[in-house]
Chains A and B, each alone.
Chain A
């Protein structure tokens, strides 16, 4: 058990980091810890918890910009946005159903650090695309900032992109600025029945090639669909391909009609209105429907959408898998029975063959210590990664080993 430090200001974060450097005592960096089980285990004598750095510092709805302390709960941010009819377009998805921990307790800083984005990712961009700027404390013990509070900015290197998805290994963010957007007035989801994944992928592709601006495109096999709390989804008693359209009401009605025409040969379709749509896409984003086995290990594969069916086919031949597909086929959630090597070789081979990369989302600590959680990088990329780490955190004080053993 490591000692926990809970700074409440940027200066206190700075002092905590400087003390860690002086004492050669690395820090595990956490927001509220909801994603602590994501990544390799961090062996650190101290934990710095950022939930004390909380609060919205600046929110101008008409500027489409929000700035908040990194430890601000996402729920607080989403509530503030909702009050103004706005939202975070990347649909941050808390993985508490898979990783355990307090439901929906995650922080803004944690969402950015993990760069986890929900179903709208392929259409609206991910967390990294809406991340305008930040202030952070580097592992050198210095406060630095990058980016800004305006939505169009190319001044200097875009360090926001580097920090997003770096899992706290380069700096401890203290303040974050985001681009926000108007929330859609209306949402509709068209449900198409069908168990055949290859056919489902063709539906997804046809929908995404259409001019109807589909911004959610997922396929759930029958078992996964059956777990949905949305009655219409579970009630289809088959695999379900779900297509979402959002926006101003007249536009949504027109585009939904367009989708219905596109898929007029398919019988027994269903349609979800805003409330049920929100429920379903939340379940999909959080990976809630994937498996009911709490012991199974879970992978996420990001790959070219047209290769989804082949990748699933290849993996099913080698082992028992449960899966669901999102992002028009570009994201596969895969659950497998727990095993010592988490079937890493098969997963990495699949992404080598079909493109993209794999991340081990859930496995117990021993497995995550032994198996690469993030797909291994080519030697030149690993060199650059190591040099970046060395330049931001030369003492390896911040989340050492969280992403790669030596980073």
Chain B
């Protein structure tokens, strides 16, 4: 493995052209925070580190966008525009470190994406370099693609189609006020009902998170956020906007929660308190890390109404594998993060945790959901793709890969369980003879 750290787009193009000419594999890497092994190095590949692409090149308040090099940290963009009252909406939990280029590769989410969208909904343009070293600009400070929406296709393509070197994102004006409600429920079913009822009442909160009992206890012991410990489920509902809107919605959400049997409701009375409500949730992973030698974080999405069923089945699996599980849940959009607690030093536990995780993801697909909501497929879920897609589906996706990278040199081994040679996928099978549409006129 060779690591290269280019500083200019031209250097990226030169490296890619050289690799392409010589049949050398390339793995691009931003900050390396992927939870699915998206930027995992390969022994026989060039590792293209984008750490030196660390400058914000333009802030344009009039057109409400920021142009940043690919290695700029997500949070650095919000910091750069904070003084003028703006921010960049997608906020993955790793935002202090994760790069905007990596966000584009993974189509990252965060706790505010029900209302404000994922990365793909907030990126206006990219500069990217093809495997043969062509520098291409897609989009810019304007809406919609000219021709096929390759910007939308590149976003979330996990480094398989090209190397993004620069990103144009839209920035939003910060809401005037934000307040958070901390709502405790005696059952997870009641909490799930409350989430549905809030949305059913026409309210889209800025954030709506759920934690189950094990997650609440671990977080409270870690950050002392003042979470109630005598409840089975805790909701954090953040309402943002003008003061008048926030006051109105706080009342309505509280009423709904009371009707559905909430046993405790607390409203943040200060910015500091609001942040402390979130601190528990945002530190849920390290909090679990304190009570277990190891944990494995999963990332499926389910139709929200299936939550009670999925939690019940997960509890059965927990007994079967004899491993504890704690759940944090982006409740608004159905994105579930079960954390499986295990000890890698005990023989067999790692394998059990992985099998438990795979079974959870299969369950997500079974109830109408998907394998990954925001962490990506990477290496981790590659072999589960067949649970969600047929071979025809996967071949069609791989043909997209072939349209950009016919020799499969970019980030090989990620996303697809079996990699076909492009020539093989390009073959056309002629169908003739009997059709299932006998009345079809033949001309």
Measuring CB to CB, which residues of chain A are less than 8 angstroms from any residue of chain B?
3, 5, 7, 11-12, 14-16, 18-19, 21-23, 25, 45-46, 60-65, 85, 115, 117, 121-122, 125-126, 128-129, 138, 140-146, 148-162, 164-166, 170, 181-183, 185, 205, 208-213, 247-251, 253-255, 258, 302-306, 327, 330-331, 355-357, 374-375, 377-378, 380-381, 384-385, 387-388, 390-392, 394-395, 403-404
| Chain A at the B interface: SS class | mixed
B222: interface (CB < 8 Å) = no
B423: interface (CB < 8 Å) = no
Q: What are 28 A-B residue pairs whose CB atoms fall within 8 Å in the complex?
A: A16-B437, A19-B435, A21-B430, A21-B431, A23-B443, A25-B443, A62-B196, A138-B396, A150-B369, A152-B333, A153-B372, A154-B156, A157-B153, A158-B107, A158-B120, A159-B153, A159-B397, A161-B120, A162-B153, A165-B144, A165-B148, A251-B244, A305-B63, A306-B62, A380-B134, A384-B130, A384-B403, A391-B400
Q: Do A143 and B392 touch (CB < 8 A)? A: yes
Cβ < 8 Å to A, chain B residues 247-281: 247-249
Cβ < 8 Å to A, chain B residues 94-136: 106-107, 109, 113-114, 117-118, 120-121, 130, 134, 136
B236: interface (CB < 8 Å) = no
Beyond A149-B368, A152-B374, A385-B148, whether A157 also contacts B63 by CB under 8 A is no
Beyond A254-B242, A302-B144, whether A154 also contacts B303 by CB under 8 A is no
B152: interface (CB < 8 Å) = yes
What residues of chain B lie closer than 8 Å to A151, measured between beta carbons?
114, 301, 333-334
| Chain B at the A interface: SS class | loop
* Stretch binding the partner chain, chosen from B171-179, B314-322, B339-347: B171-179
- Give A159 to B396 CA distance when docked, in angstroms: 9
What residues of chain B lie closer than 8 Å to A165, measured between beta carbons?
144-145, 148-149
- Give A18 to B435 CA distance when docked, in angstroms: 8
Measuring CB to CB, which residues of chain B are less than 8 angstroms from any residue of chain A?
60-64, 85, 106-107, 109, 113-114, 117-118, 120-121, 130, 134, 136, 140-153, 155-157, 160, 173-176, 196-197, 199-200, 202-204, 241-245, 247-249, 301-305, 330, 333-335, 368-377, 381, 385, 388-390, 392-394, 396-397, 399-404, 415, 425-426, 428-432, 435-437, 440-443
Q: Which of A18, A22, A374 contacts B146 (CB 8 A)?
A: A374
Q: Do A145 and B389 touch (CB < 8 A)? A: yes
Q: In this complex, what residue of B is CB-closest to A7?
A: B437
Q: Do A129 and B120 touch (CB < 8 A)? A: yes
Beyond A125-B121, A158-B153, whether A392 also contacts B399 by CB under 8 A is yes
Q: Do A380 and B304 touch (CB < 8 A)? A: no
Report which residue of B136, B369, B370 has the largest number of chain A beta carbons within 10 angstroms of its beta carbon. B370
Q: Do A152 and B113 touch (CB < 8 A)? A: yes
Q: Do A302 and B142 touch (CB < 8 A)? A: yes
- Give A100 to B120 CA distance when docked, in angstroms: 34
Q: Do A185 and B334 touch (CB < 8 A)? A: no
Q: Do B436 and A62 touch (CB < 8 A)? A: no
Q: Do B62 and A19 touch (CB < 8 A)? A: no
Q: In this complex, what residue of A is CB-closest to B396?
A: A144
Q: Which of A3, A141, A159 contacts B441 (CB 8 A)?
A: A3
- Give A142 to B197 CA distance when docked, in angstroms: 40
Beyond A61-B200, A156-B397, A251-B245, whether A327 also contacts B372 by CB under 8 A is no
- Give A165 to B85 CA distance when docked, in angstroms: 34
Q: Do B202 and A182 touch (CB < 8 A)? A: yes
Report which residue of A12, A62, A164 has the largest number of chain B beta carbons within 10 angstroms of its beta carbon. A62
What residues of chain A lie closer than 8 Å to B148, measured between beta carbons?
162, 165-166, 170, 385, 388
Q: Which of B173, B204, B241, B304 contacts A209 (CB 8 A)?
A: B173
Q: In this complex, what residue of B is CB-closest to A131?
A: B152
Q: Do A154 and B334 touch (CB < 8 A)? A: no
- Give A342 to B368 CA distance when docked, in angstroms: 49
What residues of chain A lie closer than 8 Å to B248, measured between beta carbons?
248-251
Rounded to whole Å, the gap between the CB of B62 and the closest CB of chain A is 5
